[in-house]
Amino acid sequence: MNHKIIRTVTFHLHRWLGLVAGILLCIAGVTGSILVFEQEIDSFLLEKQIGRVVPVGDRLPLESLVNTINTTYASTPKFNLTYVEMFEGEPYEFRAENADEKDFRVFVNPYTGKVMGDRVWDDTWLGFTFKLHYQLLAGATGTFIMGVVALVTLILSLTGIVLWPGWRKLISGFKIKWASHIKRVNFDLHKVAGIITAVFLAFIGFTGFAWNVPEAKVEAAIYAATFTPKLPDPVSQPIPGKQPLSLTELLQRADVAVPNAPTTGLFFPTKSEAPLWLSKKQPQETSKWGSTQIYLDQFSGKVLRIQDGLKPTRAEVVLNSFSPLHYGTFGGLPTRILYVLVGLTPLILFTTGFVMWWYRKRKDIRLVEVSEETIANR
C-alpha cells in the first residue's frame, strides 16, 4: 500500500468519523470544559447552600458522625452509606444509596457533628452536566456510547496529526491566511486548532475510553505491558459469630500502618467479604486526595494491602496519570485553563470540518450538473 492510498484512507476515516460523531464530540467537549473546574464550582455553590465550616477544636471521631447520620436518616428507605470524603476545614461529604438509587450526599460539620444539609447530586445542574458528559443521560448504554466517542476522539486526533499539512512545510501548518477566501480561512482554522490540541485530545480520548469501556481491558493491558503482576482484589474473612471491628479501631490500625498521613476518603464495606478501603495523603504527595491506598480486613483489622503513593508500581504510575491527563491538572492552573480551551476545540473542528465537507459537496454537485448539461447538449 503506497503513501497516497494510506493518506486517502486516513482522510476518509477522519472525515466521516468526524461528521458522524461530531455532535456527540461537541457535547463531550463543552461539558468537559465546564468540569475542568468542577471542584471549585461545586464548592462555591455548596457554600451558598449550607454555609461554611468554622474549625473549632478537634474534629469528632468519624464513627460518631456516622452514627449521627444513620440516626438522622433512619426513616429514609434503604439508606446505606457508601463513601465519605474528609478534608480539614471543610464539611465531610458522605455519599449514600437510597431507594431511588440516586447519588445522595450528606454534609456534616466535623467539629460540631451537625448535619449541615443534603442533596441529590443527580438533580444539581453540575451533576446533570457530569452525567451528560459521562453517560449522555442514558445510563449504562450512554456510558458505553460516550466510551466509543472517546475512542473516536483518539482516532481523530491521530489521523489529524497524520493529515496535518505542516509535515511538508512546518510554517504553513501553523499559518492562517486571514485575507484569503473564507474557504481557505476555514481550512486554516481547522488545521491549526487541530494540531495544537491533538495530543491533549488524544490523552483525553484514551483515558475516557479506558474508564467507560472496561470490557476493553485497558488496565489489564497496562499491567501486562509494564510487566507488573496484577494482585487479586483484597477480601475480608468473615468470622462466624463476630461483628466487624469498630470504625474507630480500623482507622487507628490504618494510622499505624501509614503514620502522619491524614485520611482523605473512605469506602464503607457494603458486603461482609469487602475490605475497608481508605485513601491517605502522605506529606510528599501533591494531589488533594493523595494516592496512598490501604485495605483492611473489617473483622480482624489485618492490613491486607498498602498501595504506597510514594512508591507506585510501573502500572500504577501509568494508571495514576489518567486523571491528571484527562482533567488537565498535571500542570496546575495553567494546564487547567488550557484544557477549558481544548474542550471547546471539538466544536471548532466539527464546525470547520462540516464547512469543508459542504464546500466539497457543492463542488461535486456542480460537476455533476455540468456533466449532465454537456451530455444533454450533444
Q: What is the pLDDT of residues 319-340, one digit of tens each?
A: 999 999 999 999 999 999 999 9
In a domain, 108, yes or no: yes
- Angle at which helices 182-212 and 218-225 cross, to 10°: 80
Q: In this predicted structure, what is the pLDDT of residue 199?
A: 97
pLDDT-derived band at 206 (thresholds 50, 70, 90) equals: very high
- Above 80 in pLDDT, residue 174? yes
Strands 104-108 and 303-307: unpaired
- Above 50 in pLDDT, residue 371? no
Mean pLDDT calculated for residue range 301-310:
96
**Domain range holding 117?**
50-79+87-127
378 or 168, greater pLDDT? 168
- Above 50 in pLDDT, residue 378? no
Q: In this predicted structure, what is the pLDDT of residue 337?
A: 96
Q: What is the pLDDT of residues 211-224, one digit of tens each?
A: 999 999 999 999 99
Q: Pull the grid cell for residue 148.
A: 466509543
Q: In this predicted structure, what is the pLDDT of residue 244?
A: 95
In a domain, 177, yes or no: no
pLDDT-derived band at 364 (thresholds 50, 70, 90) equals: low
Mean pLDDT calculated for residue range 172-201:
94
Q: What is the pLDDT of residues 263-282, one digit of tens each?
A: 999 999 989 999 999 999 99
In a domain, 247, yes or no: no
Q: What is the pLDDT of residues 15-68, one digit of tens each?
A: 999 999 999 999 999 999 999 999 999 999 999 999 999 998 899 999 999 999
In a domain, 57, yes or no: yes
In a domain, 251, yes or no: no
Q: Pull the grid cell for residue 368.
A: 455533476
- Above 80 in pLDDT, residue 1? no
In a domain, 121, yes or no: yes
The residue with cell 461482609 is 272
pLDDT-derived band at 376 (thresholds 50, 70, 90) equals: very low
- b/e for 167-196, b at 16 or more Cβ within 10 A? eeeeeebeeeeeeeeeeebbbbbbbbbbbe
Q: In this predicted structure, what is the pLDDT of residue 98?
A: 75
Q: In this predicted structure, what is the pLDDT of residue 67?
A: 95
Mean pLDDT calculated for residue range 303-329:
95
- Above 90 in pLDDT, residue 202? yes
Identify which of 313, 274, 263 has the alpha carbon closest to the alpha carbon of residue 92. Answer: 263
Q: How far apart are CA 291 and CA 62, in angstroms?
A: 21
The residue with cell 479506558 is 210
Q: How much is the mean pLDDT over the chain?
A: 91
Total tally of structural domains belonging to the chain = 1
Q: What is the pLDDT of residues 230-268, one digit of tens each?
A: 999 999 999 998 999 999 999 999 999 999 999 999 999
In a domain, 35, yes or no: no
In a domain, 204, yes or no: no
Q: What is the pLDDT of residues 71-110, one digit of tens each?
A: 999 988 888 999 999 998 899 999 998 767 778 999 999 9
pLDDT-derived band at 143 (thresholds 50, 70, 90) equals: very high
Query: Beta strands of 170-319 (E only): which ranges?
Result: 263-267, 276-280, 292-296, 303-307
